Amino acid sequence: MHPSPGGEHTAMAIALEDYGQNQAPTEFDAFPGGSSLLRQAFRHRGLPESSLKIMLSSLSPGTLKQYNTTYKGWWKFCLEYHLDAYSASVPQVLQFLTEKYESSAGYSTLNTDRSALSLLVNTKIGSDDRISRFLKGVYRLRPPRPRYSETWDPTKVLEYLTSWPDNQDLSLENLTKKLAILLALATAQRVQTLSLIKIDNIQKTQSKIIIHITDIIKTSVVTKTQPVIHLPFFTQNPKICPSRALQAYLDRTTSVRNGESYLWLTYKKPYKKASKQTISRWIKDMMQHSGIDISKYTAHSTRHTATSSAKRTGVSMELIRKAAGWSLNSNVFAKYYNIPISDDTPQENFAYAALSSNS
pLDDT tens column, 185-218: 888 888 888 999 999 999 998 888 999 988 766 6
pLDDT at 200: 94
User: Is residue 146 in a domain?
Assistant: no
Q: Bigger pLDDT: 147 or 40? A: 40
Range of the domain at 107: 11-141
190/60 same-domain check: no
51/83 same-domain check: yes
88/180 same-domain check: no
What is the pLDDT averaged over residues 67-91? Answer: 92
Q: Distance (Å, rounded) from C-alpha 245 to C-alpha 164?
A: 12
Q: Distance (Å, rounded) from C-alpha 285 to C-alpha 178?
A: 10
The CATH number given to whatever domain includes residue 24 is 1.10.150
Residue 151's DSSP bridge partners are: 341
Q: Distance (Å, rounded) from C-alpha 38 to C-alpha 36?
A: 5
331/201 same-domain check: yes
Tens-place pLDDT, residues 272-320: 999 999 999 999 999 999 999 998 889 988 887 877 776 665 545 454 4
Residue 212's DSSP bridge partners are: 228
Q: Distance (Å, rounded) from C-alpha 284 to C-alpha 189?
A: 15
Cβ atoms within 10 A of the Cβ of 55, count? 14
Name the domain count of the chain.
Answer: 2
Confidence of residue 12 (pLDDT cuts 50, 70, 90): very low
User: Is residue 2 in a domain?
Assistant: no
User: Is residue 148 in a domain?
Assistant: no
Residue 231's DSSP bridge partners are: 209
Of 98, 114, 141, the one marking the end of a domain is 141
pLDDT at 144: 79
pLDDT at 180: 95
DSSP state of 336: I
User: Is residue 150 in a domain?
Assistant: no
Residue 359's DSSP bridge partners are: none
Of 141, 165, 200, the one marking the end of a domain is 141
- Residue 33, C-beta contacts closer than 8 angstroms, at least 6 positions apart: 68
Three-state DSSP class for residue 153:
coil
Confidence of residue 155 (pLDDT cuts 50, 70, 90): confident
The whole-model pTM stands at 0.64
User: Which backbone phi and psi does 130 adopt, to 5 degrees?
Assistant: -70, -40
pLDDT at 103: 95
pLDDT at 11: 41
Whether 351 has a pLDDT exceeding 70, the answer reads: no
Q: Bigger pLDDT: 324 or 123? A: 123
pLDDT at 61: 83
Tens-place pLDDT, residues 90-136: 999 999 999 999 999 999 999 999 999 999 997 788 889 999 999 99
